[in-house]
Amino acid sequence: MFERLFEHGGVTAALDLAPEPGASPVPDLAALRARIRRLEGAESPGDVIGFGVPEALRSAFPTGLRAGATYAATGSLTLALMLLAEACSQGAWSAVVGLPGLGLEVATRMGLDLDRTLFVPAPGDQWATAVAALAEIVPVVLARPVRLVPTEASRLTARLRERGCTLLLTEQPPSTWPAMQATLHASPAGWRGLGDGHGCLLQRRLAIQVSQRTGRTTRHHLEVS
Amino acid sequence: MTPGGIQRALALWCPDWSLLATRTEHGLDPDVALALMDKGRVVARSAAADVEGVTVGLRLREAQARCPGITLLPHDPLRDARAFEPVVRAVDEVIPGIDVRRPGLVAVHVAGAARYYGGEEVAARALADQVRGVAGLVDVRIGIADGIHAAELAAQTTTAAAPLRVVPAGASRAFLAAMPLDVLADLPGAGPELVTLLKRLGLTTLGDFAALPGSSVRARFGVPGMQAHDLARGREVAPVRAAAAPSDLTRHVVFEPGLERIDQVAFGCRTMAEEFIATLTTRQLVCSQVLVSVFTDDDTTTGRAHSDQVWTHPRHFSSTEVVDRIRWQLQGAASTALAAPTTRQGAVIRVEIAPLALDDAAAHAGGLWRDGPADRIHHTATRLQGRLGHDGVLTAAIGGGRLLAERTQLRPWGEAAPSATIRKADQPWPGSLPGLAPTLVYDEPVPVRLLDEVRSIVRIGSRGDLSGAPVWLDPGALDPTGGGPRRVTAWAGPWPIRQRWWDPSETRRVDRVQLVDDHDQAWLLLYEQLGTDDEEPWSAEGRYD
């Protein structure tokens, strides 16, 4: 504790508060048991072992998003941002790679803490390097996928699994990538609040189709306001 | 040592040091009428301005009225101190153990130097010879007396023709007694009020003041009065505190012949950066801000830096990080030179680094056992920044503004976050967007076409009236399938945004429209008509993806 005593500066002040990914501030007995089971590799169905998901998707991901796995959230940036914000709601750091022009305002309204988010807007040909480096320090990375050589892609997913870093992709990656843990596809299902010359957008609905790796497919409805 | 226990002191005084330092920095002619201003009043003026009747304490308007051609510059104590350092080092070479009283005035104990040189006057002449010419210094005045205060006054009584005055040992009291009371005005604590008061009491010289009994002075004027009384009686209040001269931490490297490739320059700077950090480390210092100056061969005649840039670090610099900053600066200069081809990018002949913010290394020492999560994030982000460039890794904040691109404030990792007040995020912004915010914001608005029923462009009048209800939207380049115009199913607006209407050069009239098309895609459009027949007044500000 004492070696931190003399540190100062705007950046570092917020850092020490970050708990380990997936840990709740006051771990109760059930959560601790779940962690033990997770370490033993024997999860029971009710445990939230990864990152939380929005309420409407809870039935598709009863245990949350798995740490170290890769998910694709296609069709809507809103869905990807919601998943990211929900995953970081416990105070974890996050990173956004290759998405210039992301609406920061909507991200903060969804609960993303910008003070704990790193942005790499244009990694160029260093995409894999950037994601691998960020996987060392943040538990969730949101990225737009690029074409990777199969060996490079599998090396990256292995690195992510080892570090327990969840990767959220905004598009369906090219076929050279290993299979996703799950693919969430959002399609617009109506807007509310905007009339013919009056009003303003207040709420949107998304129809989400979740295709799990196991082949199971479920449909959900998400309301964003 | 004199009978009173006061050591012999030497004061080296450079008259009008602030003016000299300013002239050197701005490259001004000595004959130019120049005055330095502080808080709207003249604090120093050159001889040419003095002739025109400009006096110390004059207001800015009055000074301009008396001398219309005067150059007025702000007084910068830091510049004075910075420019004085070479002089201090020169004094230290002749007589070690110096006390910088203020920029322009140095005090030293003279006893040792007098023994070495064989007399106080000889020592003073050796000192004057050494200092003259350093930092453009011509007029050097030296006074020697018992105690620093008497020596300073002795230096101030000299003239340019006779720049040395030695008050013999034991005679300082008599020397002081003849001085007018006004010399006390510059004293910290005493000030002009005390002088005015004493004059009204009928006293004219320091001798009159010294003749008053000490207890009465203390009872009437308190501690500041007592200090002034002690000085008037020739006692030492603030003795010379001998210290080593500040060393020069600035480092530079010269390339002969000049280098044109950035990686060559960066490689050539590595040794200098390592030595720079090593020097700081031996002094138990760390540096969190450096000034990097790059000189190129096309500006050797002017002697000015080709590019100066201040780099800040959230912790403190390591040598590789200093080299990274030099590289980024060269890359930045190269990209601006490409944008403006008229400025020729010359070969780099000299790179200089100067520390701007130094701190005690003990406050930045690492942990005993391991680095915390904060350090890990910092190290990785910095390493990534080294690969991708300074603005490769960003942090973001929401700022104030009406347009979405204005509200997004990105800054490179490691640069201090502006406070919420500076960002103006907590202020109301009439005209900012209500309801949902778009998930995609275009930095530069992308042109689109909004059409009415008969497929002509919808226009907004000066009173905010639409020429027709929007029916078709042509997203243009933003539609990857190129499907042509889409039907508008719902819309609202126009919402006016009027920015800086009071400033003709910066005024901006924008209207915003929100709409949903038949692909169930929602858009935020901006209307800005720049000419009377502007064919593309509409652009997309954001998209709800």
pLDDT averaged per 10 residues, chain B (length 545): 69 88 84 88 88 88 89 86 84 83 86 88 88 80 88 86 86 86 73 83 87 88 83 75 71 84 87 89 84 75 64 80 86 65 65 82 59 72 84 85 83 74 73 84 86 88 86 83 83 85 82 89 87 79 87
- What distance in Å separates residue B193's CA from the closest CA in chain A? 44
Tell me if B388 is assigned to some domain.
no
pLDDT band at A96 (very low <50, low <70, confident <90, very high): very high
**A131 neighbourhood in chain B, CB within 8 Å:** none
Question: A200, B492: Cβ pair inside 8 Å?
Answer: yes
Which region, left, alpha or beta, applies to residue B456 given φ > 0 means left and ψ of -120 to 50 means alpha? beta
**A81 neighbourhood in chain B, CB within 8 Å:** 439
Pair type for strands A196-197 and B486-499: parallel
- What distance in Å separates residue B290's CA from the closest CA in chain A? 17
Which region, left, alpha or beta, applies to residue A131 given φ > 0 means left and ψ of -120 to 50 means alpha? alpha
For B405, which residue in chain A has the nearest alpha carbon? A101
- Please report, in angstroms and rounded to a whole number, the separation of the first and last CA atoms in chain B: 86
Tell me if B318 is assigned to some domain.
yes
Q: ∠ CA B310-B313-B318 to the nearest 5 degrees?
A: 105
Q: What is the pLDDT of residue B372?
A: 55
Domain count, chain B: 4
- CB contact, 8 Å: B416 with chain A? yes
Helical spans, DSSP H, in B4-101: 17-26, 47-51, 60-66, 77-94
pLDDT band at A71 (very low <50, low <70, confident <90, very high): very high
SS3 category, A157: helix
> Quick one: B361 and B400 in the same domain?
no
Domain boundary among B246, B279, B307: B246
> Quick one: B70 and B38 in the same domain?
yes
pLDDT band at A9 (very low <50, low <70, confident <90, very high): very low
- What distance in Å separates residue A46's CA from the closest CA in chain B? 30
Question: A196, B491: Cβ pair inside 8 Å?
Answer: yes
**In this structure, what are the phi and psi dihedrals at residue B132, rounded to the nearest 5 degrees?**
-60, 130
> Domain range for residue B520?
440-544
Tell me if B400 is assigned to some domain.
yes
> Domain range for residue A68?
50-180
What mean pLDDT is predicted for residues A76-90? 88
Rounded Cα distance, A209 and A221, in Å:
9
pLDDT: is B336 or A222 the higher one? A222
pLDDT band at A119 (very low <50, low <70, confident <90, very high): very high
- What distance in Å separates residue A17's CA from the closest CA in chain B? 9
- CB contact, 8 Å: A73 with chain B? no
For B396, which of A119, A198, A202 is closest by C-beta distance? A119
Rounded Cα distance, B102 and B128, in Å:
18
Tell me if B201 is assigned to some domain.
yes
8 A C-beta contact, residue B418 and residue B409: yes
Convert B95-110 into a string of H (helix), E (strand) and C (coil).
CCCEEEEECCEEEEEC
Q: What is the pLDDT of residue A141?
A: 92
pLDDT band at A26 (very low <50, low <70, confident <90, very high): low
8 A C-beta contact, residue B353 and residue B273: yes
Residue with structure tokens 């048991």? A33
Rounded Cα distance, B315 and B72, in Å:
39
> Quick one: B485 and B417 in the same domain?
no
| The residue count for chain B | 545
User: The tokens of B190 are what?
Assistant: 């005493």
Residue with structure tokens 């909004």? B450
Q: What is the pLDDT of residue A6?
A: 45
Tell me if A120 is assigned to some domain.
yes
> Quick one: B511 and B369 in the same domain?
no
DSSP state of B160: S
CATH number for the domain that contains residue B341: 3.30.1490.100
Number of helices and strands (H, E) in chain A? 6, 9
- CB contact, 8 Å: A124 with chain B? yes
> Quick one: B417 and B331 in the same domain?
no
Rounded Cα distance, B352 and B354, in Å:
7
Tell me if B120 is assigned to some domain.
yes
Quick one: which H or E segment has residue A181? none
Rounded Cα distance, B195 and A203, in Å:
76
> Quick one: B175 and B105 in the same domain?
yes
Radius of gyration of chain B measured on its C-alpha atoms = 34
> Quick one: B419 and B458 in the same domain?
no
Of A2, A118, A126, which to mutate for an interface test with B (greatest number of B Cβ within 10 Å)?
A118
Rounded Cα distance, A111 and B386, in Å:
30
Tell me if A186 is assigned to some domain.
no
Rounded Cα distance, B98 and B84, in Å:
13
User: The tokens of B466 are what?
Assistant: 């639409």
Question: A11, B383: Cβ pair inside 8 Å?
Answer: no
Helical spans, DSSP H, in B366-446: 373-388, 404-407, 420-423
Domain count, chain A: 1
* pLDDT at A124 exceeding the cut of 50: yes
> Quick one: B408 and B276 in the same domain?
no
Rounded Cα distance, B171 and B122, in Å:
20
Lowest-confidence region among A11-15, A90-94, A135-139: A11-15
Question: A15, B436: Cβ pair inside 8 Å?
Answer: no
Which region, left, alpha or beta, applies to residue B431 given φ > 0 means left and ψ of -120 to 50 means alpha? left
Residue with structure tokens 């040598």? B319
Contact residues, B window 361-380, toward A, CB-based 8 Å cutoff: 362-369, 372-374, 376-378, 380
> Quick one: B367 and B400 in the same domain?
no
- One-letter amino acid of A217: T
> Quick one: B242 and B257 in the same domain?
no
Q: What is the pLDDT of residue A7?
A: 43
What mean pLDDT is predicted for residues A134-143? 90
Tell me if B132 is assigned to some domain.
yes
| Residue B291 CB partners (closer than 8 Å, separation 6+) | B308, B309, B310, B311, B353, B354, B355, B356
- Largest Cα separation within chain A, whole Å, is 63
User: The tokens of A169 are what?
Assistant: 């992709």
Tell me if A215 is assigned to some domain.
no
User: The tokens of A19 are what?
Assistant: 């708990």
Tell me if B385 is assigned to some domain.
no
C-alpha to C-alpha distances, B401 to A201, B48, B432, B434, nearest whole angstrom: 20, 50, 7, 13
For A76, which of B398, B407, B545 is closest by C-beta distance? B545
- One-letter amino acid of B397: A
> Quick one: B275 and B193 in the same domain?
no
- Largest Cα separation within chain B, whole Å, is 107
Quick one: which H or E segment has residue A171? none
Q: What is the pLDDT of residue B338?
A: 56
Rounded Cα distance, B322 and B311, in Å:
9
CATH number for the domain that contains residue A102: 3.40.50.300
**In this structure, what are the phi and psi dihedrals at residue B367, rounded to the nearest 5 degrees?**
-70, 160
User: The tokens of B397 are what?
Assistant: 């904040």
**B515 neighbourhood in chain A, CB within 8 Å:** 194
Q: What is the pLDDT of residue A25?
A: 52
Tell me if B387 is assigned to some domain.
no
Predicted complex ipTM: 0.75
User: The tokens of B358 are what?
Assistant: 């130094």
CATH number for the domain that contains residue B15: 3.30.70.270
What mean pLDDT is predicted for residues A106-110? 88
Tell me if A103 is assigned to some domain.
yes
Mean pLDDT highest for which of A140-144, A200-204, B87-91, B327-331?
A140-144
- CB contact, 8 Å: A104 with chain B? yes
- CB contact, 8 Å: A114 with chain B? yes
